[in-house]
């Protein structure tokens, strides 16, 4: 009997000790953010609260959490906006993230971006596992992948300007399926660019059907954002048709009305998208807040037949006297669509660096050449990146206020959108023009993006979500990059936390690489 009492006493003591340790664990936080204004990413009104973080996740949100938890690190957020880290659904950041110096993506971090999508415009990899091997534990932002239709097509068919055989189509479908199995979030297309421009709608539908099996998204650079081929409205119709027939969600990449021939068409496009959503075809768009697009000079001015069949055939056509009249005529017409030679600014990647910062008309005037000849000389010499000033402000604003339009950068070298799109949108369209409320701006940069692109546990401040959090002051978040100085870091992000780790503190980057590779299948298992 006495032995039994001793055993019971020790058992009770052990249970009590376990309970006490459990209580201590439950009452512990790694970090407490106090006294801030919460904008949670849902679009709801802001409110005052504290945020407790444990590990890589949000432990609690509420008032006076310092009375509820012990904690190791405290941030006083008085005067700050506390919101989810921004998610950029359209970047070209993969080469930076794969660079030898293990690029931090600092141009995105200083905009408040904690997650980037890569593989847009049809350029994404389909062997996701091979790429992610080089990214684990070495990236500044989180990264999510889209499979590139152009990459898949070129792997199977090269640059052929023809429809695939059934065997080739089956090979492409298998590659898309592989990419989705390895964690891609969807399929991107660049139907304006070769080789995507050589594909039929039916080809893309067949590939998008593979994405639908994984509840992924079809993200498309439209076949025509202007009047190059089928026209802007027909291109939007094509994208919606692909979504409907493949039973897949659609995102219209960097939505715009590009060029004088299509200015004012935003109302019709909005009506088409809203009709699609009413019919159950989930359709969204992303948009960068600039009146100039960015691309390569050859993509802007050459019709796609010139680029078919590989590099050698492409250069032969450019130098063929029998084709010179047609090519020159098409370049002249494409310059007209984009607003003339003065609207084409050379921004980067020119072998003659003296051209950078000048527009085609200025170069033509200085060399006594026709702008078409200047363009052809540059293209034959390796091309360059350009900023093309081709958008109408009323269309930009018309798209921006739509509740299904997200913030994006489409960041490329030589264009300030790579360094400043999110603060540019905030300053110009929230602060100056009052087109959006601050809550709408945050929602279109966080929660809407996460929901539209299929990311779980990010994009909103919610207990259990990942601790991707930024803190900034409403009067201090500003772009510094412009078209004369496109590579200046933005200012005003005082704190940036990724997966529970502080990466920017007091506006200074601490060299920490806290980003993770996000894979759709694992991200959405709960």
CA distance 212 to 250: 11
In eight-state DSSP terms, residue 518 is E
Q: What is the mean pLDDT of residues 70-87?
A: 97
- Residue 280's SS3 state is coil
* 159-176 tens-digit pLDDT: 999 999 999 999 999 999
User: Two tokens at 85?
Assistant: 């880290």
Q: Is the pLDDT of residue 463 over 90?
A: yes
* 19-42 tens-digit pLDDT: 444 445 579 999 999 999 999 999
User: Two tokens at 324?
Assistant: 């010179």
Residues 6+ positions from 37 with CB-CB distance below 8 Å: 46, 47, 48, 77, 80, 81, 82
Q: Is the pLDDT of residue 15 over 50?
A: no
Residues 6+ positions from 517 with CB-CB distance below 8 Å: 132, 135, 136, 139, 142, 143, 144, 183
Geometric angle at alpha carbon 43, from 79 and 74, rounded to 5°: 35
CA distance 179 to 217: 13
Q: How confident is the model at residue 14 (pLDDT cuts 50, 70, 90)?
A: very low
DSSP 329-387: HHHHHHHHHTT-GGGEEEEE--SSGGGTT-BHHHHHHHHT--HHHHHHHHHHTT--EEE
Q: How confident is the model at residue 6 (pLDDT cuts 50, 70, 90)?
A: very low
CA distance 128 to 240: 27
Q: How confident is the model at residue 99 (pLDDT cuts 50, 70, 90)?
A: confident
In the chain the domains, ranked by start, together with CATH numbers, are 2-79 (2.30.40.10), 84-291+406-454+468-513 (3.20.20.140), 295-389 (no CATH)
- Contact status, residue 193 vs residue 295, Cβ threshold 8 Å: no
User: Two tokens at 132?
Assistant: 């992610």
Among 10-19, 48-57, 301-310, 345-354, top mean pLDDT goes to 48-57
- Nearest partner of 349 among 92, 153, 110, 38, judged by Cα: 92
- For residue 16, report the phi and psi dihedrals to the nearest 5 degrees: -65, -40
Exposed, middle or buried by CB within 10 Å (0-12, 13-18, 19+), for 327?
buried
In eight-state DSSP terms, residue 66 is G
- Contact status, residue 462 vs residue 335, Cβ threshold 8 Å: no
* 255-291 tens-digit pLDDT: 999 999 999 999 999 999 999 999 999 999 999 999 9
Question: What residue has token string 């139907």?
Answer: 191
Centre a 10 Å sphere on the Cβ of residue 474 and count the other Cβ atoms it contains: 14
* 110-138 tens-digit pLDDT: 999 999 999 999 999 999 999 998 887 67
Residues 6+ positions from 519 with CB-CB distance below 8 Å: 128, 132, 145, 182, 183
- Contact status, residue 113 vs residue 107, Cβ threshold 8 Å: no
The answer, yes or no, to whether the previous bond of 423 is cis (omega within 30 of 0) is no
CA distance 494 to 458: 20
- Contact status, residue 296 vs residue 348, Cβ threshold 8 Å: no
CA distance 260 to 236: 18
Centre a 10 Å sphere on the Cβ of residue 160 and count the other Cβ atoms it contains: 16
CA distance 481 to 483: 7
């Amino acid at each position: 009997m006495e032995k039994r009492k001793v055993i019971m006493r020790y058992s009770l003591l052990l249970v009590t000790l376990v309970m006490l340790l459990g209580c201590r664990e439950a009452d512990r936080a790694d970090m407490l953010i106090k006294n801030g204004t919460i904008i949670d990413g849902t679009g709801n009104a802001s409110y005052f609260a504290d945020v407790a973080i444990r590990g890589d996740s949000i432990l609690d949100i509420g008032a006076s959490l310092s009375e509820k938890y012990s904690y190791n690190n405290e941030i006083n957020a008085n005067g700050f906006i506390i919101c989810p880290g921004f998610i950029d659904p359209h970047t070209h950041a993969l080469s930076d993230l794969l660079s030898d110096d293990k690029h931090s993506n600092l141009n995105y971090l200083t905009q408040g971006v904690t997650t980037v999508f890569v593989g847009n415009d049809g350029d994404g990899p389909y062997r996701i596992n091979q790429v992610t091997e080089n990214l684990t534990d070495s990236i500044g932002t989180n990264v999510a992948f889209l499979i590139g239709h152009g990459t898949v097509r070129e792997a199977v068919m090269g640059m052929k300007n023809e429809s695939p055989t059934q065997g080739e189509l089956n090979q492409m479908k298998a590659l898309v399926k592989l990419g989705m199995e390895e964690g891609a979030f969807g399929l991107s297309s660049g139907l304006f660019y070769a080789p995507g421009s050589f594909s039929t709608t039916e080809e893309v539908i067949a590939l998008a059907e593979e994405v639908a099996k994984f509840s992924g998204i079809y993200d498309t650079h439209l076949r025509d954002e202007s009047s190059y081929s089928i026209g802007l409205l027909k291109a939007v119709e094509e994208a919606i048709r692909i979504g409907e027939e493949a039973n897949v969600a659609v995102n219209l990449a960097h939505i715009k009305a590009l060029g004088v021939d299509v200015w004012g068409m935003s109302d019709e496009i909005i009506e088409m998208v809203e009709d699609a959503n009413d019919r159950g075809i989930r359709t969204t768009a992303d948009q960068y807040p600039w009146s100039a697009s960015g691309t390569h000079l050859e993509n802007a001015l050459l019709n796609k037949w010139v680029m078919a069949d590989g590099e050698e055939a492409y250069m032969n056509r450019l130098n063929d006297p029998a084709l010179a009249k047609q090519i020159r005529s098409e370049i002249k017409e494409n310059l007209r669509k984009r607003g003339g030679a003065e609207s084409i600014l050379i921004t980067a990647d020119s072998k003659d660096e003296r051209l950078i910062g000048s527009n085609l008309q200025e170069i033509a005037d200085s060399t006594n050449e026709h702008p078409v000849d200047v363009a052809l000389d540059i293209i034959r010499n390796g091309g360059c990146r350009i900023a093309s000033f081709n958008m109408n402000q009323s269309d930009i604003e018309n798209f921006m206020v739509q509740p299904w339009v997200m913030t994006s950068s489409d960041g490329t070298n030589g264009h300030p959108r790579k360094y400043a799109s999110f603060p540019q949108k905030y300053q110009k369209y929230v602060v100056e023009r009052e087109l959006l409320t601050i809550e709408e701006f945050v929602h279109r940069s966080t929660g809407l993006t996460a929901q539209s692109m299929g990311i779980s546990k990010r994009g909103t401040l919610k207990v259990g979500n990942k601790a991707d959090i930024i803190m900034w002051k409403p009067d201090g978040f500003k772009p510094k990059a412009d078209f004369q100085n496109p590579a200046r870091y933005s200012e005003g992000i005082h704190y940036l936390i990724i997966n529970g780790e502080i990466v920017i503190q007091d506006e200074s980057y601490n060299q920490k690489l806290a980003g993770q590779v996000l894979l759709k299948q694992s991200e959405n298992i709960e």
